[in-house]
């Protein structure tokens, strides 16, 4: 009996310490140090996409950008003019548009507790409403060393907006430099 009591006490103490240390060592991506240690993976820079309707409707035509890459005001503006969505008609049934809009706005960069989302928000002037992730000052700064040859003239990339072409874990919300593999050029090496 005493042995079981010791094990139970030890487990309770371990759980309490993990909870406390998670609070003490928590990082600004919403993942704590110990959770990453146990899971064995790096925390993403933005929350991954979890809405299946968004993945189906929007991800069927282009990379399903994580809501944490733009502020809520940008998603609202994008979703109110789907007839002219970057030169395409992307209209949706009203209930689908409302559900997707709610998902995007509720998980936008200004609502998120993820490192990259906060950096994107800090890069914007008050009220600035970019309509593309690639228009944010944060994005521009992070991609300023890429040559035309690496992106536009690269048939396996073609556009700076194709995150998944170079960011090997883009769909998970992770955009770390160590995860970049530019087709035809190899791993990104920042000088």
Q: Where are the domains of the chain?
A: 2-39, 52-187
Q: What is the pLDDT, as a whole number, of residue 43?
A: 59
Query: Are 101 and 79 within 8 A, CB to CB?
Result: yes
Q: What is the pLDDT, as a whole number, of residue 103?
A: 97
Query: Are 51 and 103 within 8 A, CB to CB?
Result: yes
Residue 175: name the closest of 186, 185, 166 by CA. 166
Q: What is the pLDDT, as a whole number, of residue 16?
A: 42
As a whole number of angstroms, the distance between CA 26 and CA 30 comes to 7
b/e burial code for range 33-62 (CB count within 10 A of at least 16 → b): ebeeeeeeeebbbbbebebeebeebbbeeb
Rounded to two decimals, the pTM is: 0.77
Q: What is the pLDDT, as a whole number, of residue 145?
A: 93
Per the prediction, the chain carries an average pLDDT of: 83
For the chain, list residues with pLDDT below 50: 1-42
């Amino acid at each position: 009996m005493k042995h079981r009591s010791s094990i139970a006490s030890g487990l309770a103490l371990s759980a309490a310490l993990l909870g406390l240390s998670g609070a003490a060592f928590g990082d600004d991506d919403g993942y704590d140090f110990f959770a990453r240690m146990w899971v064995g993976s790096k925390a993403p820079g933005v929350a991954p996409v979890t809405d299946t309707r968004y993945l189906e409707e929007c991800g069927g035509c282009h990379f399903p950008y994580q809501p944490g890459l733009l502020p809520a005001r940008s998603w609202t503006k994008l979703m109110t003019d789907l007839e002219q969505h970057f030169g395409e008609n992307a209209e949706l049934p009203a209930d689908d548009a409302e559900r997707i809009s709610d998902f995007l706005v509720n998980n936008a960069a200004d609502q998120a507790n993820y490192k990259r989302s906060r950096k994107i928000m800090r890069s914007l002037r008050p009220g600035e409403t970019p309509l593309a992730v690639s228009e944010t000052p944060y994005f521009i700064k992070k991609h300023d060393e890429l040559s035309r040859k690496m992106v536009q003239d690269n048939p396996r990339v073609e556009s700076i907006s194709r995150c998944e072409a170079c960011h090997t874990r883009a769909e998970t919300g992770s955009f770390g430099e160590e995860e970049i593999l530019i087709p035809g050029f190899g791993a990104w090496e920042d000088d």
